[in-house]
Amino acid sequence: MPNRITLQITRYHPGHDEKPRLETYEVPLRKEWVVLDALNYIKDYLDGSLSFRWSCRMGVCGSCGMTVNGVPKLTCATFVSDYAPGPMRIEPLKHFPVLRDLVVDTSDFLVKLAKSKPWIIRSVKKSLEEEYLQTPEQLEAYKQFSMCINCMLCYAACPVYGLDPLFSGPAAIALAQRYNMDSRDEGAGERLDILSHHDGIWACTFVGECTKVCPKNVDPASAIQQYKLTASLEWVKSFVLPRGGQ
Amino acid sequence: MVSPTEYLPKSYRPRVSTYWWLARWAYLKFILREASCVFVAWTVILTLIGIRALTRGPADYAEFEKWLRTPILLTLNIISFFFVVFHAVTWFDLAPKAMAVRVRGKRLPSVAIAAPNYVVWIAISVAVAWILLRG
């Protein structure tokens, strides 16, 4: 293994640069280093002006998502040695406006996430003394979707979101489905209009890349396809049953 | 007078290239999968033309068979065959994603959804081949 590796990193200084450019840095190649370690090395020793987001360093916070050699990755979980001898290319997450260097504007995702109402909705709330009990089977039904860390790698991998920014996107739909499938939740009806809108599940063409890049195995592609079935059944019910099956 | 947008961060909005689907093999595979529907449609149309020729009598059907042997049709149908197979395989592989079947609280593994599809596909193909090749 060579002892150094070249990193080509996107730099963008708003107000100065017309568009992002690539800058090259050479860093030590260490077996235990992830991409985030290499970026921190650059910031500490080579160029303190390099901007990027990170926090937990252990695949929990979802802050350090970037494009590594064209593929969306959590940089805290991507080993530099896997890309030896290099060069490696580190770019900001695709499909989001770039604020500076590797930092993207996440506002659009946050608005969409809130619209899908990712919280437990109850028609009548129990008193604080009462519990909402759940069996292990009921937990199992939605647990996979609850693992989402909002890292937005799925948005960066989704060509539909890139071409149509109005699309709700994989994570927001998967999280809506996480609450729809929760036995304690009663808000599926409230989420139906948002999800079954043409910018919701029906915009998805099932490319499936969201699932492949997800670092937590959430499988948003599956959540969307399953919800297409649910929404279709609701649509049929609205015709067949009295009062639309409400 | 300070403009209300003066202190908003300026950002660079990247544009998706027209050729985004060539950037990664996974995207190209997706586009080929979507394009396969054209060849599926062609196969259906060809079948309908064949049935119409059959109902019009042996002379028309012989003409239809002669037409099938022309190089253009032969090439088109060979390409169509591969696309139809590709369409079927990708369809069966995606089926487990859309169908979350739970037995006693546990989700069935993908292979349990995909395998029956393949078994039925092979069984029908063998049955059709047997009917056609028996005479």
The band of B3, judged by pLDDT with boundaries at 50, 70 and 90, is: low
**Chain A contacts of B14, Cβ < 8 Å?**
94-95, 97-98
Does residue B132 form part of some domain? Answer: yes
Backbone angles phi and psi of A74, in degrees to 5: -80, 120
Hey, which residues 24-53 in chain B have their CB within 8 Å of chain A?
A: 24, 26-27, 30, 34
pTM as predicted = 0.89
Q: Mutating which of A69, A181, A207 best tests the B interface, going by the most B Cβ atoms within 10 A? A: A207
* Tally of domains in chain B: 2
- Count Cβ atoms within 10 A of the Cβ of residue B13 and give its class: 0-12 exposed, 13-18 middle, 19 or more buried: exposed
**What does the alpha-carbon distance between residue B80 and residue A15 come to, in Å, rounded to a whole number?**
53
Q: Do both B54 and B107 map to the same domain?
A: no
- Which of B74, B91, B83, B7 shows the shortest CA–CA distance to B39? B83
- Count Cβ atoms within 10 A of the Cβ of residue A34 and give its class: 0-12 exposed, 13-18 middle, 19 or more buried: buried
Backbone angles phi and psi of A142, in degrees to 5: -120, -5
Structural domain boundaries enclosing B120: 99-135
Q: Are A72 and A153 in contact (CB under 8 A)?
A: yes
All residues at 6 or more sequence positions from A195 whose CB lies less than 8 Å from its CB, including other chains: A116, A168, A173, A176, A201, A227, A231
CB contact (8 A) between residue B98 and residue A229: yes
Q: Do both A149 and A27 map to the same domain?
A: no
Chain A residues with at least one Cβ partner in B under 8 Å: 12, 14-15, 17, 19-20, 70-71, 94-95, 97-100, 105, 136-137, 140-141, 159, 162-163, 205-209, 211-212, 219, 221-222, 225-226, 228-229
Does residue B7 form part of some domain? Answer: no
CATH of the domain at A191: 1.10.1060.10
Does residue B120 form part of some domain? Answer: yes
Q: Do both A222 and A112 map to the same domain?
A: yes
**What does the alpha-carbon distance between residue A48 and residue A42 come to, in Å, rounded to a whole number?**
7
Q: Mutating which of A181, A225, A228, A229 best tests the B interface, going by the most B Cβ atoms within 10 A? A: A225
CATH of the domain at B76: 1.20.1300.10
Task: Write the pLDDT tens digit of every residue in A68-78.
Answer: 999 999 999 99
Question: Token pair 């487990």 is at which residue?
Answer: B96
Does residue B12 form part of some domain? Answer: no
| Tokens read off for B110 | 């993908």
Does residue B56 form part of some domain? Answer: yes
Does residue B122 form part of some domain? Answer: yes
**Alpha-carbon B133 to chain mean position:** 26
Quote ipTM for the complex. 0.83
Task: Write the pLDDT tens digit of every residue in A63-106.
Answer: 999 999 999 999 999 999 999 898 999 999 999 999 999 999 99
Q: Are A152 and A93 in contact (CB under 8 A)?
A: yes
All residues at 6 or more sequence positions from B92 whose CB lies less than 8 Å from its CB, including other chains: B114, B117, B118, B121
pLDDT value of residue A238: 84
**Chain A contacts of B30, Cβ < 8 Å?**
159, 205, 207-209
pLDDT average, residue stretch A220-244: 86
> Is pLDDT of A62 > 90?
yes
Q: Do both A20 and A80 map to the same domain?
A: yes
Does residue B59 form part of some domain? Answer: yes
* Tally of domains in chain A: 2
CB contact (8 A) between residue A221 and residue B24: no
CB contact (8 A) between residue B27 and residue A207: yes
Q: Are A156 and A72 in contact (CB under 8 A)?
A: yes
The band of B4, judged by pLDDT with boundaries at 50, 70 and 90, is: low
Number of Cβ atoms within 10 Å of the Cβ of B120: 11
Nearest CB to A209; choose among B14, B26, B94: B26
Give DSSP secondary structure letters for B17-80: PTTGGGS-HHHHHHHHHHHHHHHHHHHHHHHHHHHHHHHT-HHHHHHHHHHHTSHHHHHHHHHH
Number of Cβ atoms within 10 Å of the Cβ of B20: 15
Give percent above pLDDT 90 in chain A.
80
Runs of H (alpha helix) within A52-169: 107-115, 136-146, 153-157, 159-163
**What does the alpha-carbon distance between residue B62 and residue B53 come to, in Å, rounded to a whole number?**
8
Structural domain boundaries enclosing A215: 107-245
Question: Token pair 């279709």 is at which residue?
Answer: A232
Question: Token pair 């950002």 is at which residue?
Answer: B11
Size of interface A-B (CB pairs under 8 A): 75
> Is pLDDT of A245 > 60?
no
Q: Do both B27 and B53 map to the same domain?
A: yes
> Is pLDDT of B21 > 70?
yes
pLDDT: which is higher, B6 or A156: A156
CATH of the domain at A37: 3.10.20.30
Number of Cβ atoms within 10 Å of the Cβ of A53: 19
**What does the alpha-carbon distance between residue A74 and residue B96 come to, in Å, rounded to a whole number?**
27
- Which of A198, A200, A193, A147 shows the shortest CA–CA distance to A172? A200
Distance from CA of B13 to the nearest CA of A (A): 4
